[in-house]
Chain A
Amino acid sequence: MSREILKIVSLNKAFGRVQAAADINLSLQEGVLTSIIGPNGAGKSTLINILSGSIPPDSGRIYFLGTDITRLPVHRRVKLGLCRSFQLVNIFPELTVFENILLPALAAADRTRHLLRAIRRETAVRAQVAQLLERIGLQHAADTVASALSHGDQRVLEVGVALAAKPKLLFLDEPTAGMNPVERVRVLENIRELSHSKQTTFVLVEHDMDIVFSLSDRVIVLHHGEVIGDGTTDAVKNDPRVREVYLGQEVPA
């Protein structure tokens, strides 16, 4: 049995009178590709924001590989190996594609404190960056300024920047939104491969049910901040409560 990578204990968060997370208890296993789905306003983004450290919970505890990270700042969580990508493009617009990947890669290798060392000399990290660029298919654009990329390529880069931090657990917030079919297949292939090689455990937040059901080992359904469904894709598809919430929306049989 794989080990537990993330444990969430009675997590609560309310914005005014809106309950965005209502007593959430979850345990995520290493190497299990998990998707979080739910209608708009279900609290999916809030949950990711709490887990990655952008907003503090009202109550509850979060454990990452056994360490209590509930009050840790974002950058400390990333150092431990918990990272995320963003739904909206969130890159370094005036840096080149290479530099966009290089920055988190240097941080992951603990090299960013070097004040007077030439960045050209960081050959080991640079090789990793080149490898990652090839993997996500952006090697041809390495020296392009990120803001000059097409929207789809920026989305690919977004996922690349998150991967460069070498996370053990990576939340991807709608990773393929705005990508063309070719880019989408490439990114999904990467996710599948990396997930199989157990380097990174992925948690996807997706609207596209085709992606969710073709890729996931486990699906968690949120509604009004509550977990209303949790299990394998088949179990969730046939869950009456999930069907009720998604009534009128197509659930592939």
Chain B
Amino acid sequence: MKRYAPILFAGIALAALVLIGLIGGRFLIYLTSRVMILSIFAMGYNILFGRTGLLSFGHAAFYAGGAYGLGLFMLHVLPHPLLGIVVGVACAALLAVVIGFFCVRHTEIYFAMLTLAFGMMVFSLIWNLRDITGGDDGLVGIIRTPIALGPLSIPIIKPQSYYFLILALLLLSVFLIYRIRHSPFGLVLAGIRENEKRVAFAGVSLKNYRLGAFVLSGAFAGLAGALGTLLESSTSPFSAHWSHSAEPILVTLIGGLQTFAGPMVGSAVFIVLREVIERFTHNWMLWFSIILLVIIMGFRGGIVGILSGRRK
């Protein structure tokens, strides 16, 4: 029974997501789209955070890498959303290679501070390179043109049809991240988290595998950024702001750091709670931080951790 519980939950969640896409109202579809995009961001981030044990404060830079990569490509090169997403992910991964090259030489607080510094650098570059990035206006007017696949043309202009594109990419991401987690590479990442000194004595290059985790998580952040840009039809420089880097950390902690589904559950809770609290008060951050405090001090395993009843 316990063994099949995760599969059962996954099935229910998938059915719910499809149902929302089919019969949900405009607002519900928009909100769920944001949940799914944040889920991709957070699940990718958790490869680095939960699996490898590295805390990055700079992943908004890769989100923005995906957002601006897609935006610039669609505006100036070719208005093809799928290619734009690919370009966005590639931009984010490339940026992660460059930034990661310097960051993975350090661990713990030094690693975290370096990612923060690079993240701020990317933000100020986007803010100041007005001619390219539009400065504080961001990029606007990115239209969800139909996806041309040979003779086929799939329209995604309607929120509902775009919703299913996001869902498909979420499923792809979940599949890839699941495979990575259960691969030899994933075991090495867990080993790095547990005892990096010993991993080196197993004959594994720490830096290369840390960088691998960094770039993978950066690429998923880029995918989320590209999808977010298409959802809003615009980008904002604040997508690169360091406060945005905190989002995947928060939702991972809420959902459960050492769990697979934690970041997804956390994303849903984060976005829905924010919507609900904002109806009653402008101080949503105050209320949200109180909830976060309770979870971190009382329920270290996060929501999924408690439900599965496995970890402390």
Contact = CB atoms under 8 A, between A and B. Distances in A.
A115 B185 contact: yes
A215 interface: no
B183 A165 contact: no
B173 to A, nearest CB: 13
A40 to B, nearest CB: 23
B200 A74 contact: yes
A103 B199 contact: yes
Given A118-B182, A122-B184, A75 B206 contact: yes
A116 B179 contact: yes
A90 B183 contact: no
A137 to B, nearest CB: 21
B198 A161 contact: yes
Interface stretch (A1-9, A59-67, A77-85, A193-201): A77-85
Contacts of B186: 119
A94 interface: yes
Interface in A15-60: 52
Contacts of A112: 184-185, 187-188, 204, 209
Contacts of A95: 187, 190-191, 194
A115 B202 contact: no
B190 A78 contact: no
A106 B184 contact: yes
A92 B202 CA distance: 11
A161 B198 CA distance: 9
Interface string B29-43: 000000000000000
A144 B185 CA distance: 21
Nearest to B197: A90
A107 B192 CA distance: 13
A103 B188 contact: yes
A117 B183 contact: yes
A64 B203 CA distance: 16
Interface residues of B, number: 25
Given A92-B195, A95-B190, A113-B185, A84 B180 contact: no
A135 interface: no
Interface in B195-218: 195, 197-206, 209
B194 A93 contact: yes
Contacts of B187: 95, 99, 102-103, 106, 112, 119
Contacts of B201: 52, 74-75, 78, 83-84, 104, 162, 165
A111 B204 CA distance: 11
Interface centre among A112, A115, A116, A164 (most CB of B within 10 A): A112
B203 A104 contact: yes
Contacts of B180: 115-116
B176 interface: yes
A90 B202 CA distance: 12
A108 interface: yes
A91 interface: yes
A140 interface: no
A79 B199 CA distance: 12
Contact of A118 (B183, B194, B205): B183
A108 B184 contact: no
A92 B190 CA distance: 9
B183 A103 contact: no
Interface in A111-157: 111-120, 122
14 contacts: A73-B200, A74-B200, A75-B204, A78-B201, A93-B195, A99-B187, A103-B187, A104-B202, A114-B183, A116-B183, A117-B183, A161-B198, A162-B201, A165-B203
Interface of B: 176, 179-180, 182-188, 190-191, 194-195, 197-206, 209
